[in-house]
Structure 1
Amino acid sequence: MKIGDKIRHIRKANKMTLNELALRVDSDVGNLSRLERGKQGYSSDLIEKIAGALSVPVSELFSSNEPDDTVDSYSVSSIIKKGRKDVYRIDVLDVSASAGDGSPSKDVVEVIRSIEYVPDQARVIFGNRPESSVKLINVRGDSMEGTIEPGDLIFVDVAVSNFDGDGIYVFNFNGDMFVKRLQKVKSELIVISDNPRYREWSISEEEMPMLHVSGRVMLSQSQQFRRHG
């Protein structure tokens, strides 16, 4: 089943009009109508908004199974119960990470337990990394504001367990967890907050044993919601 047909079937199963869907995803009714009829392409941002409005994972919109017309609605919980194996599943990283002052509980809020993608889409986003090496964290602190906004999801390559060139890392230093930019200058690592209100600090060569890298941040995804009515 094509993605436009799938969107239309799930929308109707949820008893949602095209106008209501357009309002929820902040899009033009005509564009959505053409998308459902297969007359127009789509962006990843629009597909994510549509999946959110229909209360299904993005992967469900790309699945080939025919929807059951006797079912009143689709839900995340019902999809999980099916135990589908044709997805690329990313789970929450099993550490507390701070993008603020280092407190392991203050600056992280667990909003999402996992995200599922169809394999082809995951390959475009994450390359050939196996799903076991990609984890996610929901960041609430503001020290990386401008790059990672409060509430964003960050996707972390946990196969990286040491400093591997300048970039943004999730790491533990002397018992505190951080999400910060690391930059090597001579024998030191400079710890940088992209929000200029936070001062940078350094990890000396002698302090390196206190640094434990949990992974390197690959990308972030906004979790901002717009309420329409």
Structure 2
Amino acid sequence: MKIGDRIRQIRTARKMTLQQLADTIDSDVGNLSRLERGKQGFSETMLQKVADALSIPVSELFSDEDEDDTVHKYSVNSLANSRRDNVYRVDVLGVSASAGAGSSSGDVVEVIRSIEYVPEYAKSIFGNRPQGSVMLINVRGDSMTGTLEPGDLIFVDTEVTFFDGDGIYVFNFNGDTFVKRLQKVKFELKVISDNKTYETWALTQEEMNMLHVQGKVLVSQSQQIRKHG
């Protein structure tokens, strides 16, 4: 479910009009209308104001559950749950990842902290990668829209710590952390946003020592599983 649809769902359940929500967060009703219809992006500040006005945590805006349900019904286990045998556990990658402009302070919504799979099912998704090598991030930002939507979970092969062919990577450059598509073109490494409203930029050979790959994106999960590597 898109964030705008989720906001509308919760707002309707609270019997709150769009104008009332706009007045509560001191925003223009037109901006909120475009946000709900997916015609306008959103900032961390805006999301926090909306969540506060609806009396919910920000993470609930990224949930696909009914308004009275919680994100923990999404087959997710928090770190507080005891570890169980015979499971394939995927924990959060300890980086701040952005699919927007990048931020050293972090641009990631911690909706979940871990997921546990039946080993056979995990193998069908992640292949023979050992437990602990695959980690997850809940990404925020719209620069990869069309491939990675805001709120999607991305599963990262952390054993890939270098450019290993064209694909989507989590990487740090000059102190900022990004989720972008990397493509080698002659002597440059192109940094590509799948949302074409964002410009492609490039790393020269001289700048490559400033690139630190955290991992390569294998799979994203939203309403469905989409493999990327």
TM-score (norm 2): 0.63
CA drift at 1:126? 0.5
- 1:189 paired to 2:181: no
Q: For 1:208, what is the secondary structure of its paired residue?
A: helix
Q: 1:57 maps to what in 2?
A: 75
Q: Deviations over 1:174-228 (max 9, x none)?
A: 110000000000111000000011000000000000000000001100169xxxx
Alpha-carbon separation, structure 2, partners of 1:219 and 1:189: 22
Report the counterpart of residue 80 of structure 1 in structure 2: 81
Change (3 A) 1:55 1:182: same
Q: Is the 8 A contact 2:155 2:219 kept in 1?
A: yes
Which residue of structure 2 aligns with residue 162 of structure 1? 162
Contact 1:98–1:104 (8 Å) recurs in 2: no
Q: CA deviation at 1:166?
A: 0.3
Say whether the 8 Å CA contact 1:140–1:150 is kept in structure 2: yes
Q: Distance in 2 between matches of 1:203 and 1:53?
A: 39
- State the distance in 2 between where 1:162 and 1:54 align: 34
The question of whether the paired residues in 2 share the 8 Å contact of 1:88 and 1:122 is answered with yes
TM-score by length of 1: 0.63
Identity %: 69
Compared CA separation, residues 91 and 54, structure 1 to 2 (3 A): closer
Counterpart of 1:96 in structure 2 is 96
Q: For each residue in 1:50-87, what CA deviation from the matched residue of structure 2 results, as whole angstroms up to 9, or x when unmatched? A: xx8993737xxxxxxxxxxxxxxxxx57x933x31110
- 1:153, 1:223 within 8 Å by CA — same for their partners in 2? no
Specify the SS of the correspondent of 1:213: strand
Q: Which residue of 2 aligns with 1:199?
A: 199
- Given that 1:169 and 1:215 are in contact with CA atoms closer than 8 Å, whether structure 2 keeps it comes out as yes
Distance in 2, Cα, partners of 1:157 & 1:209: 21
Deviations 1:6-52, CA, capped at 9 Å, x for gaps: xxxxxxxxxxxxxxxxxxxxxxxxxxxxxxxxxxxxxxxxxx98xx8
Report the 3-state secondary structure (helix = DSSP H, G, I; strand = E; otherwise coil) of the residue aligned with 1:179. strand
Structure 1: give runs of 5+ residues left out of the alignment: 1-47, 59-75, 225-229
AA of the residue aligned to 2:186: K
Q: Which residue of 2 aligns with 1:147?
A: 147
Q: RMSD across aligned C-alpha pairs, in angstroms?
A: 2.6
> 1:45 aligns to what?
none
Report the Cα distance in structure 2 between the residues aligned to 1:173 and 1:55, rounded to whole angstroms: 36
Deviation at 1:105, TM superposition (A): 3.9
- State the AA in 2 paired with 1:180: K
Secondary structure in 2 matching 1:171:
strand
| Letter of the structure 1 residue corresponding to residue 138 of structure 2 | N
User: Who is 1:218 aligned against?
Assistant: 218
Q: Which of 1 and 2 has greater Rg?
A: 1
Change (3 A) 1:54 1:202: closer
For residues 53 and 93 of structure 1, the distance between their equivalents in structure 2, rounded to whole angstroms, comes to 19
